[in-house]
Amino acid sequence: MNNLNIEERIRDYLSSEAGFTQDEIESMFGFTVYISMAISMYAHRNQRREDGNPYYLHPFYVRKRYMEFTGMTEEDPFCIDRDLMEEYGIPFEGVQEVCIMHDVLEDTEVTLEEIREIYNEYGYKDYFNMYIERPLLLVTHDKNMNYDEYIDEVLKNRTASMVKMVDMADNLNIMSLGKFEEKEENRAIGYIRYSKRINDKYHFIEGCREYLKAFNS
């Protein structure tokens, strides 16, 4: 299996371990968001969260938080107005993919080159270059940076900032913790402070509320 390329390894995992049929796998590789899901599930396949759940559920929940924030649902994920979102400063293109893959480069052996290879193979080279690569790199925490420096980097890009904000919102779910002691309390306080820094620059919360009000009217 070590001789297989990244796509072959992902397909093998989805089929032999995740229980997807060949038709389901083929369908996944037809859409950019589902490609990111396949990559994330494979990349995080041996990892667990503090509560014992598979790690890949966390990036899926991060995407779900973004969808709920912007009024999208699984039943109607395209129930949006992209022009209106743009007017109110809410990013759309690439956000779901970066949500789903936001920890892949930081915490797994899957590389940016391998991710790029898959998107190129399925005709999404330009989409990857325009909407995914830069925010994915910025949202990846270089451990040589302290967290304040890292957030400075994230703030350079609107999509990376949105993803990081919903990521921290999911990390603030105390019911997903393995324990809740002083270390976890301080971490949660930090997430709130960093979320405010992001919102102070991009005003996502206010913008999204105005967007939803305008959209629903």
Write the CATH number for 111.
1.10.3210.10
Q: Does the pLDDT of residue 96 top 60, yes or no?
A: yes
Q: Is 19 a domain residue?
A: yes
The mean pLDDT value for 151-171 works out to: 97
- Provide the pLDDT for residue 174: 81
Judge whether 200 lies within some domain.
Answer: yes
Nearest one of 59, 57, 86, 54 to 70, comparing CA atoms: 86
Residue 32: pLDDT over 60 = yes
Number of domains the chain contains: 1
Determine, yes or no, domain membership for 212.
yes
Within a domain: 28:
yes
Instruction: Lowest mean pLDDT of 117-131, 166-180, 192-206, name the range.
Output: 166-180
* Residue 121 forms part of a structural domain: yes
In this predicted model, what pLDDT tens digit does every residue of 163-184 receive, in sequence order? 999 999 999 888 777 788 898 8
The pTM score is 0.93
Average pLDDT over residues 133-139: 98
Q: What is the pLDDT of residues 35-60, one digit of tens each?
A: 999 999 999 999 998 778 889 999 99
pLDDT value at position 60? 96
**CB-CB contact of 99 with 63 (8 Å):** yes
Residue 4 pLDDT class (50, 70, 90 cuts): confident
HSE at residue 200, side-chain half, CA atoms within 13 A, is 8
**CA terminus-to-terminus distance, the chain:** 54
Q: Is residue 1 part of a domain?
A: no
Query: Which one, of 13, 30, 161, lies nearest residue 98 by Cα?
Result: 161
Q: Quote the percentage of the chain above a pLDDT of 70.
A: 98
Q: Which pLDDT does position 2 carry in this prediction?
A: 62
Parent domain of 202: 6-216
Instruction: Decide if 115 contacts 183 (C-beta within 8 A).
Output: no
**Residue 55 region by backbone torsions, left for phi larger than 0, else alpha for psi between -120 and 50, else beta:** alpha
- Residue 85 burial (10 A CB sphere; 0-12, 13-18, 19+): buried
Residue 159 inside a domain? The answer is yes
Q: What does pLDDT average to over the chain? A: 94
Rounded mean pLDDT, 3-29: 94
191 falls within a domain: yes
